[in-house]
C-alpha cells in the first residue's frame, strides 16, 4: 500500500497563560531543547510529512526563524490569530495542494509516528479522524461546587492531536464557522456542521504541556524514551 503523505498545521501563537510563564510556552525548555523543537523533531523524521505550517505571533518571528532553520522539512511561518481556531483557519488557507492535512498542538511533543500514521490512514478512508484515549478517572459533573451527576466513563474519550482531515472538508467548515461557532478543537467544527469523525486510539504519553506539572511529566517521558 502506498504511504499516505500529508501536510500539517501547528497553531503556535498562544500565550500559554495556564503555564504561568513570561513567554510563549513553546519556547520553554525540556532537556535544553524548546518544546516546539521536540514537536518539530517528530515530523522531521517522517517522510510522509510534506510541509509544516506554523501559525505564530509575528512578534516572535525572529525566534521561530532561528529555530526552524535547522530543519530540512519545508516549514512555512504565517501570522496566527487571536484565537487558536483563527490560527488554524489561516494555516489551512495557505495550503495549495489537496490531500490529508493534520492539525496538531505545538505543545504535544510526545506523539509517535505510529499514532500519526494510524490517524492519517483513518482520515484517508473516512475524511476525518482524531486520536483519543479512554478516560481513566471517574468523571463528575458539578454545579456550584455540588456534584450533580457521575458521568459514565465508558462513553468518554479524551481528545488528542493530531487530528486528520481531507483538506477541503476542514477548510470549508473552518470558513463557515469563522463567524458562527468557536469550537474547542477542530473535530468539534465537523460535529457542529453535522459531519462525523472517526476515533483512533492514541497513547497516554501524548500529553499536552499546559501547566508546570506537565514539564515534570515531560521529563519523565524523555527519560523513559532514553532521550
Q: What is the pLDDT of residues 34-43, one digit of tens each?
A: 999 999 999 9
What lies within 8 Å, CB to CB, of 45 at 6+ separation is 113
Q: What is the DSSP letter of 130?
A: E
Residue-level pLDDT at 178: 96
pLDDT of residue 225: 93
- Facing residues of 166 across strands? 100
- Burial per residue of 52-74, b for 16 or more beta-carbon CB atoms within 10 angstroms, e otherwise: bbbbbbeebeebbeebbeeeebe
Per-residue confidence (pLDDT) for residue 17, from 0 to 100: 66
- The string of pLDDT tens digits covering residues 55-109 is 999 999 999 999 999 999 999 999 999 999 999 999 999 999 999 999 999 999 9
Task: Read off the pTM.
Answer: 0.94
Q: Give the number of other CB atoms < 10 A from CB of residue 204.
A: 12
The C-alpha cell that represents 48 in the structure block: 510522509
Long-range contacts, stretch 73-78, CB < 8 angstroms, 24+ apart: 73/40, 73/43, 73/44, 73/49, 74/50, 75/40, 75/51, 76/51, 76/52, 78/53, 78/54
The pLDDT tens digits of the residues spanning 1-26 come to 567 999 999 999 977 666 666 779 99
- State pLDDT tens for residues 124-167: 999 999 999 999 999 999 999 999 999 988 889 999 999 999 99
Residue 201 has pLDDT above 70, yes or no: yes
Q: Rounded distance, CA 84 to CA 162, Å? A: 14
- Region class of 226: left (phi > 0), else alpha (psi between -120 and 50), else beta: left
**134 near 200, Cβ under 8 Å?**
no
pLDDT confidence bin for 227, thresholds 50/70/90: confident
pLDDT of residue 154: 87
**Of residues 151, 132, 33, 51, the one with CA closest to residue 92:** 51
- What CATH class does 6-224 carry? alpha beta
Residue 3, pLDDT score: 77
| CA-wise closest residue to 121 among 10, 39, 2 | 2
Give the C-alpha distances (Å, rounded to integers) separating 218 from 103, 122, 223: 21, 28, 9
Please confirm whether the linkage preceding 51 is cis (ω < 30° from 0).
no
First to last CA, the chain: 32
Amino acid at each position: 500500500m502506498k504511504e499516505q503523505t500529508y501536510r500539517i498545521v501547528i497553531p503556535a501563537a498562544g500565550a500559554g497563560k495556564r503555564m504561568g510563564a513570561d513567554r510563549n510556552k513553546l519556547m520553554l525548555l525540556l532537556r535544553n531543547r524548546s518544546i516546539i523543537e521536540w514537536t518539530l523533531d517528530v515530523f522531521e523524521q517522517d517522510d510522509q510529512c510534506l510541509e509544516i505550517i506554523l501559525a505564530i505571533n509575528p512578534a516572535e518571528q525572529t525566534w521561530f526563524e532561528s529555530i526552524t532553520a535547522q530543519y530540512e522539512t519545508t516549514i512555512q511561518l504565517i501570522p496566527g490569530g487571536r484565537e487558536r481556531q483563527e490560527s488554524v483557519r489561516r494555516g489551512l488557507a495557505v495550503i495549495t495542494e489537496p490531500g490529508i492535512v493534520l492539525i496538531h498542538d505545538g505543545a504535544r511533543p510526545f506523539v509517535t509516528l505510529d499514532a500519526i500514521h494510524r490517524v492519517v490512514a483513518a482520515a484517508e478512508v473516512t475524511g476525518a479522524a482524531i486520536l483519543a484515549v479512554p478516560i481513566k478517572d471517574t468523571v463528575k459533573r458539578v454545579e456550584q461546587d455540588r456534584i450533580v451527576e457521575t458521568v459514565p466513563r465508558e462513553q468518554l474519550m479524551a481528545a488528542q492531536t493530531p487530528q486528520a482531515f481531507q483538506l477541503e472538508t476542514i477548510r470549508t467548515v473552518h470558513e463557515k464557522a469563522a463567524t458562527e461557532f468557536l469550537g474547542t478543537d477542530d473535530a468539534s467544527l465537523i460535529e457542529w456542521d453535522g459531519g462525523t469523525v472517526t476515533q483512533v486510539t492514541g497513547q497516554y504519553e501524548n500529553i499536552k504541556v499546559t501547566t508546570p506539572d506537565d514539564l515534570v511529566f515531560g521529563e519523565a517521558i524523555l527519560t523513559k524514551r532514553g532521550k
